Structure 1
Amino acid sequence: MRAFKLLVVAVIVATLLPALGAWWLQNPLDMPPSVSVETPLEVNVPPGASARAVAQAVSQAGVRTSSVLLYAWFRLSGQSRAIKAGTYEFTPDTTPRSLLDKLVRGEQALRSLTLVEGWNIRELLQAVRSSPDLTQDLDGLSPEEVMVRIGYPERHPEGRFFPDTYRMVKHTPASTVLRQAAQAMDERLAQAWAERTPDTPLQSADEALILASIIEKETGIERDRPMVGAVFNNRLRIGMRLQTDPGVIYGLGERFDGNLRRADLLADTPYNSYTRAGLPPTPIAMPGWNSLRAAVQPAASRALYFVARGDGTSQFSATLDEHNAAVRRFQLKR
């Protein structure tokens, strides 16, 4: 009789264990109340971590499920050696099965950082340094020291990063993201320069980058950029000064209070194209792709002047008389 009872218990256990195991694998893990879709649980898996260490890391991060049970699942799954290092995030609906699937796929927590067209280096570094998703390894460095850190020691920092949205693993070093953005600008600038018009007055890709940065700051209207590019290319071709306000503003730096005065236009700096001929010595902002193209593939136009219409667009003129008439119409309302 005793042997029969033991046999019955063994049969029941053998029947229930798979069912219990299947139920456990498909039900959410016991997470802290603070964990939500908006604030997921973060788990860091260091390189070379064993399955036991990963199970302990999950438990130590806040999952209130036995690390022994998790370790057993990792081993029994046959995938314990396929777990990848990285930073992971788990929401309240995470099950033991989905947790392991994510670890095996290496589906790390991703974040994004958007670098905006027209930003200068100060604005760029402020955005990077204020990002909570990056590991800050550039704090205290000057823009020039940042360029050394990312591997561009001989380049001026202004305009050397391509404005775009960059996706990265959470806690990626800030220097890594900026290195990627600098490499992206190298690639896009090389592409634009290779596609330049044969009669361009620009002498190098660096000059194209400088002009593109001015075009970027002169207009936010995409369709106007080739025409703005035409005006500046035409002026460079005949030796006429560019006379661009954004360059003057950049040269003023932190002295600019938001109001550009006539005295500012007369105050000589290397970036004041009212007082100096040719291009400024460096870019004044980060140009986007459309501005790069406008610098090297300007519109076919003889325009030498443009004035704001008041709606974001510009009126272009080939002669000074036409320009003065446009100024009276759109600026002086005469």
Structure 2
Amino acid sequence: MKKSIIRCLLCFGLLLIVAAVAGYFYLQNYASQKIQLQQDDQLITIERGTSVQRLSQQLEAEQLITNSQLLPLLLRFDPSLRAIKAGTYRLSANMTLRDLLVLLCSGKEAQFTIQFIEGTRAKDWLLTLQAAPYIHHQLTDLSLEQVAEKLGIDGHIEGWFYPDTYHYTAGTTDVAILKRAYQRMDSHLQIAWNGRATGLPYKSAYEMLIMASIIEKETGVDSERGLVSSVFYNRLGIGMKLQTDPTVYYGRSESIQGPLTRDDLREKTPYNTYVIYGLPPTPIAMPGEASLQAAAHPTPSKYLYFVADGYGGHVFTTNLDSHNRAVQEYLRVIRNR
């Protein structure tokens, strides 16, 4: 009798072992199934506090897996896959269910990028931010003054953001991105200011930032930036007006479109360098590193004038007669086109 009971217990134990092994391999096979992507660059967002049951329902609702009923059992069997972190994740081709769970536990959220171009203005940056995906907007419909207050910037925000490509995760605020850009510009400006050439006419690093923004708007040719800087340096040195068109454009009413007119050049605004002496009160755009360095290190020259050559560059001259001839040559090139 006892032997029969023992044999039954052994058989029952063996059946349990076989069932456990079969269940183990079945779950492993389940975890190894490929998830079904519905598009190439597919994302999944896991909300904070998502339960195992809610995760199961979400994966099936988003058609990533076809059978969610085994997922709680898999997670109970392998607790290392339960530590899921909230966030937005990028899925990849050939990813298995286990790969997906490992990703959700890693916290390695999808990275997004936003690019800001040299020479653009604060209003352009705000529009770029508004159009970017997965950003939490806190600056919508705010004036530039209100944006400055939100960022903790004392004064005008123009010129204070460093142009570059910035990476962010879903839910990052527009405030956080602009603060990073501000901190980088402040750092680069201080480095350029501390390493500047001697004898420059700037009273502060901010004045050098203003100059850098003007250089940025005057030329996109790296080899010319130092020469453009030298023209403005030489003009400031002899008390000559800067007479640079980009400052006039900046100070002109946004309702006015088209090229500058004689009236524009005569209108007295704080930014009209055909009327005022010295620098305008603020930067007129976001300068890049090359323009910061050009403002800090003007190329030694005696140039006082420059004009477009019609081919993407400029002609630099030392006197008005030569400048006028360069202007006429530019107009001839344009007419021939």
Q: TM-score, normalised by structure 2?
A: 0.87
Residue 42 of structure 1 aligns with an amino acid whose one-letter code is I
Q: Which residue number in structure 1 is paired with residue 39 of structure 2? A: 36
Q: Which residue number in structure 2 is paired with residue 180 of structure 1? A: 180
Q: Which residue number in structure 2 is paired with residue 262 of structure 1? A: 262
Which moves more between the two structures, 237-246 or 16-25?
16-25
Q: Which residue number in structure 2 is paired with residue 26 of structure 1? A: 32
Residues 259-309 of structure 1: CA deviation (Å, up to 9, x unaligned) = 211221111111000011000001111111111111111112121111111
Q: Which residue number in structure 1 is paired with residue 129 of structure 2? A: 128
Deviation for aligned residue 1:58: 4.5
Q: CA separation in 2, counterparts of 1:155 and 1:139?
A: 19
Which moves more between the two structures, 291-300 or 76-85?
76-85
Task: Describe the shift of the 1:218–1:137 C-alpha distance in structure 2 as closer, same or farther (beyond 3 A).
Answer: same
Deviation for aligned residue 1:6: 6.2
Name the SS of the counterpart of 1:281 in structure 2.
Answer: coil
Q: CA RMSD in A?
A: 2.7
Q: CA separation in 2, counterparts of 1:178 and 1:65?
A: 42
Deviation for aligned residue 1:8: 7.4
Q: CA separation in 2, counterparts of 1:202 and 1:91?
A: 53
Q: CA separation in 1, counterparts of 2:81 and 2:152?
A: 38
Report 1:56-71 matches (<5 A): 58=59, 63-64=64-65, 69-71=70-72
Task: Describe the shift of the 1:199–1:72 C-alpha distance in structure 2 as closer, same or farther (beyond 3 A).
Answer: farther
Contact 1:308–1:331 (Cα < 8 Å) also in 2: no
Residue 136 of structure 1 aligns with an amino acid whose one-letter code is H
Q: CA separation in 1, counterparts of 2:79 and 2:306?
A: 69
Q: Which residue number in structure 2 is paired with residue 253 of structure 1? A: 253
Residues 97-146 of structure 1: CA deviation (Å, up to 9, x unaligned) = 21122123221011111111111122111111122331222112111111
Residue 114 of structure 1 aligns with an amino acid whose one-letter code is Q
Name the SS of the counterpart of 1:23 in structure 2.
Answer: helix
Which moves more between the two structures, 11-20 or 236-245?
11-20
Contact 1:43–1:58 (Cα < 8 Å) also in 2: no
User: Which residues of structure 1 form unaligned runs of 5+?
Assistant: none
Contact 1:214–1:247 (Cα < 8 Å) also in 2: yes
Contact 2:118–2:163 (Cα < 8 Å) also in 1: yes
Q: Which residue number in structure 2 is paired with residue 286 of structure 1? A: 286
Name the SS of the counterpart of 1:24 in structure 2.
Answer: helix
Q: CA separation in 2, counterparts of 1:71 and 1:302?
A: 78
Larger Rg: 2
- Give the paired residue count: 328
Q: Which residue number in structure 2 is paired with residue 87 of structure 1? A: 88
Deviation for aligned residue 1:64: 4.0
Name the SS of the counterpart of 2:46 in structure 1.
Answer: strand
Contact 2:271–2:280 (Cα < 8 Å) also in 1: yes
Q: CA separation in 1, counterparts of 2:75 and 2:147?
A: 43
Contact 1:120–1:158 (Cα < 8 Å) also in 2: yes
Residue 29 of structure 1 aligns with an amino acid whose one-letter code is I
Name the SS of the counterpart of 1:306 in structure 2.
Answer: strand
Task: Describe the shift of the 1:182–1:59 C-alpha distance in structure 2 as closer, same or farther (beyond 3 A).
Answer: farther
Q: TM-score, normalised by structure 1?
A: 0.88
* Residue identity (%): 40
Contact 2:212–2:287 (Cα < 8 Å) also in 1: yes
